[in-house]
Amino acid sequence: MSNTILILGLGNPTPKYQNTKHNVGFMVADSLSRLLNASFTSSKFNAEVSSVTQKFGDKPVKIILAKPQTYMNLSGDAARALTDYYKIPPQNILVVYDDVSLPPNSIRLRNDGSAGGHNGVRDIILKLNTDQFPRLKVGIGDNGVIPLADYVLGKYTPPTLSDKTNFIDNVAKYTMQLIKNKVEKGLFGDNDTQVFKTD
């Protein structure tokens, strides 16, 4: 197994989209950077990137956190640039993004598969020419009333934001466990079985 793992959190750049449901991938990446004491910097990869080496037992692993800055629908540009430069195989990528088909405050791990209607994932599949990469879906629900495009771009506001931040921090801790699984067992986790919901 390659000793480099890419965690790609999806979202939209600029303050306009900060704290929106569509940006939970960015929020997880930010929480992970705090856990790892790492900082994001702009890069040539069309992304903000943070890189840190973490030891799991006696195994040093380079963990790259990335937030594409191309807007959601072109997330594959950053994915392709990063994987080409660091020679990262698809199975060492974990894409983190919002999913309206899952209830709020729930997550689901998938090791491969279609985009499921998510434009950011669709572009990654297109640019990498494969759907054989793991992804962690973060549930945001769908209230069925507000048009979907407006709903996913809606902001979390206090006190909802505080509750969401606690959940996101739990997702980041869970993601660290998935990375540990990957290092020790060669797989982030069993397909579709690691699902949880928090209060």
Q: Which helix (H) or strand (E) holds 166?
A: helix 160-185
Angle made by CA atoms 71, 73, 79, in degrees to the nearest 5: 80
Q: Which residues contact 84 (CB under 8 A, 6 or more apart)?
A: none
Is 118 known to be catalytic? no
Take residue 197 and report the two structure tokens written for it.
């919901």
The H-assigned helical ranges of 36-93 are: 75-86
Options 21, 22, 118, 182, the catalytic residue: 22
Residue type, 187: L
3-state secondary structure of 172: helix
Q: Which residues contact 92 (CB under 8 A, 6 or more apart)?
A: 1, 2, 4, 5, 6, 182
Catalytic residue IDs: 22
